[in-house]
Chains A and B, each alone.
Chain A
Amino acid sequence: MKKTRILLSVVLAAFLVMTIGVPAYGAKTIKIGVIGPMNFMQGKGHWNGAVMAAEEINAQGGIQVGSKKMKIELIKADSNEFLSITDATNAMERAITYDKVDFLVGGFRTEAVLAMQDIAMDYKKIFIGCGAAHPTLCIRVARDYKRYKYFFRGTPFNSMFLVKTCFAHLGFVGKELKTQLNIPKLKVAIVGEKQVWVEPMIGVAKTTIPKLGMELVGVWRPSQTATDVTAELSAVQRSGAHIVFTIFSSSVGITFARQAGELKVPAVMVGINVEAQKDGFWKATQGMGNYAMTMNTYARGVEVNELTKPFIEKYIKLFGEVPTYTADTYSAIAITLKKAIEKAGTLDADKLIPVMETMEVMVPSGRVKYIKDAKGRKLHDLAWGPGYLTSLGVQWQDGELKAVWPNGWQGVTYKGVVPYKIAPWIVEKYKK
């Protein structure tokens, strides 16, 4: 009896090892782990972009790896990173050790991506970050190249450049207000959610706004999940602000735009409002978010280059919405990885890295080039500015998200960019 039990235990253990531990003998596919918060818009973008890339590549027979063509197999990894960083690291660990992925794309929240990055580096897997903007992710590459060389930034460009872009937008809107409404001295109110990433931006804004010839009239810091900001809006109105410089990544961006629209607050909104980048913003604000402006990567009808329009239209056809920037997993797979693998003729990460580092590729949002830091060290971070990635300034205009910037900024204007509009109640208040 005892022997039978031991025998059964051994058989069971062997069965488990065979079924769980060894999932894919002799696989002929390139396995790409798509990691993101799959129950949220950001994760959906990650997955959709990757699906589009995989379908496109597989329809062409796969990626040419040396002498053979290999198809793409996507592995969905739900990081649940908004709620738990542990879930994110577990998802990363599982994708690498159980699903045996060859490459990884995705990630959104910096805190989670830093943790996930370490796991990917432990296993020497190329991880293209498509969501987090913090410079540290790439500074790690420069400081400890041997360990972190497997990480590349996919999207967006780092937050230092995001800040620069925001102030370019502020200057642009200020110029529009001066021109159209003849306001001699513009007043700016900063409203930024209470999150760590906002702190340095407010510090920079305090010194930059006066340099732009504008007056800073106050800073308001609601909670990122505030469901009522009428108090802040009343205070903004009392301050006489003409412009509200918004720094929102969470639901407060919807609340603020909706209540500002309902109360017809006489100040234009410009800056970062992540919720305003999404198609759902119009519905979420019940149309009250009209005229809100934010930085964004894509807008329907705007062509950064010849790849933009086909990408956006196909994405809309497949998923029924304009892609958010996390959908740049498409570019990471269908352009960056594909070209690197075909050029190197291998899936070996150490052989692919030098190829990726020197590559310059056109993607739907601009041109990707990996830059070095001031000391000449490899960063694997993205080049920003004319000729490379600039992003867009988009404005909600009667239910449609239109690009209004760059419109001549440093000589850059994209096809499809439209004029900036000022809300009628603001025109009415200030037009003399």
Chain B
Amino acid sequence: MILDIIVSTLINGSVYALLAIGFSLIFGVARIVNIAHTAFYMIAAYCIYFATHRIGLHPLWGMLAAVVLVTLIGLISYKFFIDPIREHEAAVLIATIALAMIFQEVMLLIFSGDFLSVPSLVKGYVLVLGVKVSYQQLLTIAGALIILAAVWMLLMKTRLGLAVRSTADDREVANLMGMNVARVAMMTMGISVALAAFTGAVVVPLTILNPHMWMHPLIMMMAVVVLGGLGSIKGSFAGAYILGFSEALVVFLIPMGSFLKGSVALSIMILVLLIRPEGLFGVAFEEER
């Protein structure tokens, strides 16, 4: 059972981490609460379905195409719907909710409400200490961890990463130091949406596609971000695995109540916030000057 819990934690935790880090990045840099973040993840999943079932591409090519396409859609959405109202946080919030709903309705119109799926990249399972773990699950964990490592490298070892972190730390100082904050925000949006698309790509062989598939991850992703501390990448990472672990524990220890996994995870988040309101790795943002 312990191995079951570890595998489940790694899969769910990695997915939440990928989503939450992308969400956190754009919030940290541009103060954009992008409710449409998981809708991009949904679009990526549908793009992969379209590429594999309608065009006949290998799922791997479909995944690559989906990441590129969704990133472009994300950038266009940012340019036309978010950037013009970027300074009005409430307006951005409403605009991104509307964007998510539009994406949902478009997917519903194109693909209908039927449940769809994409083939696994690898079939079969391996017995680990008597527990059956599918190869696809292992691949998903590996894929998610590689992407997380790549994001960490990008943020810590590149000039772009430095710019992103600086802007996230203090936008005004970054601006005064001659950095083009608007451009950094645009590029961060690209990275953020690409992360959402990557999440869709690694998860799609394990999940069922439907136009409402963005809602549950949205709630969990926001819970992770709040738990970890708004704007903290490290916090998002830790929060994701904590909530992933709590979900796995509920499913394995309370079989009659496995549907409660989301509620239990959210209760843990509330408990932590009661003790530490800024979250686990809370970042104290500079006051707007």
Chain A, residues 31-72, CB within 8 Å of chain B (1/0): the string is: 000000101110010000000000000000000000000000
Q: Is the CB of A235 within 8 A of B252?
A: yes
Q: Is the CB of A220 within 8 A of B255?
A: yes
Is A283 interfacial (CB 8 A cutoff)? Answer: yes
Q: Which residue of A lies closest to B3 (CB)?
A: A234
Give the residue of A41, A231, A284 whose beta carbon is less than 8 angstroms from that of B208.
Answer: A284
Separation in Å of the A114 CB from the closest CB of chain B?
A: 22
How far apart sit A285 and B113, CA to CA, in the bound complex (Å)? 16
Q: Which residue of A lies closest to B135 (CB)?
A: A262
How far apart sit A232 and B11, CA to CA, in the bound complex (Å)? 16
Q: Is the CB of B117 within 8 A of A275?
A: no
Residues of A with C-beta under 8 A to B208: 227, 251, 254-255, 284
Q: Is the CB of B210 within 8 A of A251?
A: yes
Separation in Å of the B182 CB from the closest CB of chain A?
A: 37
Residues of A with C-beta under 8 A to B12: 228
Q: Which residue of B lies closest to A42 (CB)?
A: B113
Sample (21) of A-B pairs whose CB atoms are under 8 Å apart: A40-B112, A220-B258, A223-B258, A225-B216, A227-B208, A227-B213, A228-B206, A230-B4, A230-B8, A231-B258, A234-B131, A234-B132, A234-B252, A254-B117, A255-B207, A255-B208, A262-B124, A262-B125, A280-B116, A283-B117, A286-B119
Is B108 interfacial (CB 8 A cutoff)? Answer: yes
Residues of A with C-beta under 8 A to B112: 39-41, 44
Q: Which of B11, B134, B258, B262 has the most CB of A within 10 A?
A: B258
Is B115 interfacial (CB 8 A cutoff)? Answer: yes
Q: Which residue of B lies closest to A225 (CB)?
A: B216
Give the residue of B114, B119, B252 whose beta carbon is less than 8 angstroms from that of A231.
Answer: B252
Chain A, residues 88-122, CB within 8 Å of chain B (1/0): the string is: 00000000000000000000000000000000000
Residues of A with C-beta under 8 A to B261: 223
Is A143 interfacial (CB 8 A cutoff)? Answer: no
Q: Is the CB of B259 within 8 A of A286?
A: no
Q: Which of A409-428 contact B (CB under 8 A)?
A: none
Give the residue of A225, A228, A280 whose beta carbon is less than 8 angstroms from that of B114.
Answer: A280
Residues of A with C-beta under 8 A to B160: none
Separation in Å of the B252 CB from the closest CB of chain A?
A: 5
Query: How many residues on the B side are at the interface (Cβ–Cβ under 8 A)?
Result: 42
How far apart sit A220 and B256, CA to CA, in the bound complex (Å)? 5
Residues of B with C-beta under 8 A to A264: 125, 132
Separation in Å of the A168 CB from the closest CB of chain B?
A: 26
Q: Is the CB of A222 within 8 A of B259?
A: yes
Closest 9 CB pairs of A and B: A194-B259, A231-B251, A40-B113, A223-B259, A227-B207, A263-B132, A251-B115, A251-B208, A39-B113
How far apart sit A238 and B1, CA to CA, in the bound complex (Å)? 9
Q: Which residue of B lies closest to A189 (CB)?
A: B255
Separation in Å of the B250 CB from the closest CB of chain A?
A: 9
Q: Is the CB of A280 within 8 A of B125?
A: no
Is B183 interfacial (CB 8 A cutoff)? Answer: no
Q: Is the CB of B137 within 8 A of A230?
A: yes
Spell out B's residues near A (CB within 8 Å).
Answer: 1, 4, 7-8, 11-12, 53, 108-109, 112-117, 119-120, 123-125, 131-132, 134, 136-137, 206-208, 210, 212-213, 216, 248, 251-252, 255-259, 261-262
Separation in Å of the A134 CB from the closest CB of chain B?
A: 21
Decide: A284 near B117, CB < 8 A? Known: A228-B8, A263-B125, A264-B125: yes
Decide: A40 near B258, CB < 8 A? Known: A225-B216, A262-B120: no
How far apart sit A234 and B109, CA to CA, in the bound complex (Å)? 37
Q: Is the CB of A254 within 8 A of B8?
A: no
Give the residue of A259, A263, A280 whose beta carbon is less than 8 angstroms from that of B115.
Answer: A280
How far apart sit A230 and B251, CA to CA, in the bound complex (Å)? 10
Residues of B with C-beta under 8 A to A283: 53, 116-117
Q: Is the CB of A262 within 8 A of B251?
A: no
How far apart sit A285 and B134, CA to CA, in the bound complex (Å)? 15
How far apart sit A275 and B4, CA to CA, in the bound complex (Å)? 27
Apart from A280-B115, A286-B117, 14 more pairs, CB < 8 Å? A37-B113, A39-B112, A44-B112, A223-B261, A225-B216, A227-B206, A230-B8, A231-B251, A234-B1, A234-B252, A235-B252, A238-B1, A262-B124, A264-B125
Is A161 interfacial (CB 8 A cutoff)? Answer: no
Is A377 interfacial (CB 8 A cutoff)? Answer: no
Decide: A262 near B123, CB < 8 A? Known: A40-B112, A228-B11, A231-B8: yes
Q: Which residue of A lies closest to B255 (CB)?
A: A220
Decide: A263 near B259, CB < 8 A? Known: A39-B112, A254-B115, A254-B208: no
Q: Which residue of B lies closest to A237 (CB)?
A: B132
Q: Is the CB of A262 within 8 A of B216?
A: no
How far apart sit A221 and B213, CA to CA, in the bound complex (Å)? 20
Is A383 interfacial (CB 8 A cutoff)? Answer: no
Residues of B with C-beta under 8 A to A370: none
Q: Is the CB of B257 within 8 A of A263?
A: no
Give the residue of B11, B113, B115, B213 whose beta carbon is less than 8 angstroms from that of A284.
Answer: B115
Q: Is the CB of A286 within 8 A of B4?
A: no
Q: Which residue of A lies closest to B105 (CB)?
A: A39
Separation in Å of the A373 CB from the closest CB of chain B?
A: 34
Residues of B with C-beta under 8 A to A399: none
Give the residue of B4, B108, B116, B136 whose beta carbon is less than 8 angstroms from that of A234.
Answer: B4
How far apart sit A263 and B7, CA to CA, in the bound complex (Å)? 14
Residues of A with C-beta under 8 A to B206: 227-228
Decide: A221 near B259, CB < 8 A? Known: A39-B112, A234-B131, A262-B134: yes
Is A145 interfacial (CB 8 A cutoff)? Answer: no
How far apart sit A280 and B257, CA to CA, in the bound complex (Å)? 30
Decide: A232 near B125, CB < 8 A? Known: A40-B112, A251-B208, A280-B115: no
Separation in Å of the A106 CB from the closest CB of chain B?
A: 16
Separation in Å of the A110 CB from the closest CB of chain B?
A: 18
Decide: A232 near B251, CB < 8 A? Known: A39-B108, A221-B258, A221-B259: yes
Q: Which of A204-231 contact B (CB under 8 A)?
A: 218-223, 225-228, 230-231
Residues of B with C-beta under 8 A to A234: 1, 4, 131-132, 252
Q: Which of A260-300 contact B (CB under 8 A)?
A: 262-264, 275, 280, 283-286
